[in-house]
Structure formats: C-alpha cells, structure tokens
C-alpha cells in the first residue's frame, strides 16, 4: 500500500481510501439496500484494513448515521489502524453542528475524529466566501470555538456539485 501526507497535516494516509456513502445510502452506485449489505461491508472494511488501507471518509448524513455505525462496528476494535474523516453540512447553526459531531462520534464509537470536513453543496467561485460568511453563527462560530479551545485536528471544506 502506498501512503502520502494528507495536505498540510502530519497524517500519513493510504492513497486508496474507503468511502462511506455506499454504506449508508441505498442505490448509491448500483441497485442495493444499504441496511441489508451491512455484513458484506463490514467484511470488506476488515479486508481493506488488513491490506493497509488507513483512510476512511464518511458523513453522518449517509443513511442518517448508518454508514458511520458500520464503520464504528469495525473500528471499535481497530481504531488505532485508521484515520477517520467525516463531514458536517455547512448550512447548520452552531448547536446543530455540535449535535452532528456528537452523533458522528456516537455512531463511529470513538472519542475523536481525525479530519472534520464541512460540506458545501452547489457553491462555486466567489460565492464561496459569501456563502461561508452567511453562516457566521454556524460553521464559522464552530471553527472559532475550536480555535479558542486549541483544536489541533485538520479541518477542511468539501465542495460538491449535482453533476
């Protein structure tokens, strides 16, 4: 397995990651029911970790926590082997961001998240700054609180399009 440094972090992650969307969302890439695929996904994630994969990207919104709970079932015994990145929708208020992160921690059965991403949907070019500033009491306030609390985990923004 090849590894690379993730951005400007000190995280040495596998070049191949494990995406959480198909675990929680029905018919994500092909026809199937996510909740009925739990055992297959758990087995696949164990095999991926055995081969050296160490980067898992997910979101609380994938099946309302279903994807994260499957990851949590695997990582509760293997947490030290993987970096977890999860996302929070950027349109949430401050209290909702806290609730979303708490829900992710519970589903993932862990007490920390390695990379926190804020998902920005349908937002491009110069509109990004305007978009972010419009949530000064949500995501921006949350980030400021993290700075005050000397939060040292990576934060990122993820842009998504419908196309």
Give the DSSP H or E segment for 43: helix 38-50
Count of alpha carbons within 13 angstroms of residue 82, beta-carbon side = 31
Place of tokens 């921690």: 105
Cβ burial 12-38 (10 Å sphere, 16+ → b, else e): ebbeebbbbbbbbbeebeeeeebeeee
Report, as residue numbers or ranges, the catalytic residues. 62
């Amino acid at each position: 397995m090849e590894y690379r440094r993730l951005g400007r972090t000190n995280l040495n992650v596998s070049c191949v990651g494990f995406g959480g969307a198909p675990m929680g969302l029905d018919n994500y890439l092909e026809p199937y029911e996510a909740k009925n695929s739990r055992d297959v996904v758990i087995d696949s994630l164990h095999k991926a970790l055995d081969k050296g994969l160490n980067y898992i990207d997910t979101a609380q919104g994938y099946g309302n926590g279903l994807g994260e709970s499957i990851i949590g079932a695997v990582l509760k015994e293997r947490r030290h082997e993987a970096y977890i990145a999860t996302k929070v929708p950027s349109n949430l208020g401050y209290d909702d961001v806290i609730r979303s992160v708490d829900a992710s921690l519970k589903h993932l059965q862990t007490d920390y998240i390695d990379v926190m991403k804020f998902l920005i949907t349908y937002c491009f070019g110069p509109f990004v700054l305007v978009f972010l500033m419009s949530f000064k009491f949500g995501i921006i306030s949350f980030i400021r609180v993290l700075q005050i609390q000397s939060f040292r985990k990576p934060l990122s923004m993820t842009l998504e399009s419908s196309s």
